[in-house]
Amino acid sequence: MGKILALLIVLIVVGSVWSFVSGHWWFPVGISEHAGAIDAQFKRTAVVVAVAFIASQLALAYAVFKYGSKGSERAIYSHGNNKLEAIWTGITAVIFIILAFLGQVVWYNLHIRDAAPGAVQVDVVGQQFQWNFHYPGKDGIMGSTDAKYINDAALNYVGLNPDDETSKDDIQMSILVIPEKRPVAIKIRSKDVIHDLFIPALRIKQDAVPGMNVAMHFTATKTGKYEIACAELCGSLHYNMKTFMLVVSQDEYDQLSAMSEDKFKERINQLMAAEPLQ
């Protein structure tokens, strides 16, 4: 029995390693300036975890193989070894702190550092069960919003202030449209529960937290249509909370920015129908 179990453990290790190394279930191609740094961090973490996983599982397989029950023996109870516990806890802590520090550089650049001047501004509001994107409209000024103005029946999902002149031309849509090769600053909030804006191609994954306005910025490097999902279990229709991002040329974006809400939406729907999903 011990030998079969040991073989099974080794097979699970080989299968797990293959599932990563084969590349069958890897990320889509990254299309943001920071995608390379995120992928490098992910690979570093995966390698460290893989080394620990393979070593511990092979040790387990060896122990099961060598010391498996021979029938009538009783198991020995061990109180453990404090020195060994301290050593491997210490090593693990050091490795994870180093990984966290390496990851901080990307995090800092995307979240703490201000977006470059002239960045395109888009506000994002998550709600059960859709994403709402708020664009400044023709005047280029983001109108003010307040949660008290949110009214789904009137299609005011982001809570545009009706008394604010600059909000009159603002556009709300469930599709994210951004220009390529230009910094985009987004502010993410939520109307009800925690959601998570996940754009795999951009390597962006950020919680939308009620009561918070989370700012981040990024630059997309390739035009196309990409998937957006909610990556936080947010209720019964969570699976349905998906939408798309269109990355368009600067020319196209300039034209969109000069359009009224109706024309803007009409053009977006045309682009959505024409673009294949990347």
| Positions in 175-204 near Cu ion (CB under 5 A) | 195
Query: Which of 110, 173, 178, 230 contacts Cu ion by CB under 5 A?
Result: 230
CB of 236 to Cu ion, least distance (A): 11
| CA–CA distance, 273 with 278 (Å, rounded to integer) | 13
Size of the site for Cu ion (CB under 5 A): 4
CB of 195 to Cu ion, least distance (A): 3
Query: Which of 64, 178, 220, 241 contacts Cu ion by CB under 5 A?
Result: 241
Q: Does 9 bind Cu ion (CB under 5 A)?
A: no
CB of 202 to Cu ion, least distance (A): 18
Query: In terms of CB distance, is 167 or 243 closer to Cu ion?
Result: 243
Which residues, at least 6 apart from 49, have a Cβ–Cβ distance to it below 8 Å? none
Q: Does 234 bind Cu ion (CB under 5 A)?
A: yes
Question: How far apart, in Å, are the Cα atoms of 258 and each of 4, 140, 261, 263, 269?
Answer: 69, 9, 10, 9, 17
Question: Exposure string (b/e) for 141-155, b if CB count within 10 Å is 16 or more?
Answer: ebbebeeebbeeeee
Q: Does 228 bind Cu ion (CB under 5 A)?
A: no
Which residues, at least 6 apart from 186, have a Cβ–Cβ distance to it below 8 Å? 121, 122, 123, 124, 215, 216, 217
Which residues sit at the interface with Cu ion, rule CB under 5 A? Answer: 195, 230, 234, 241
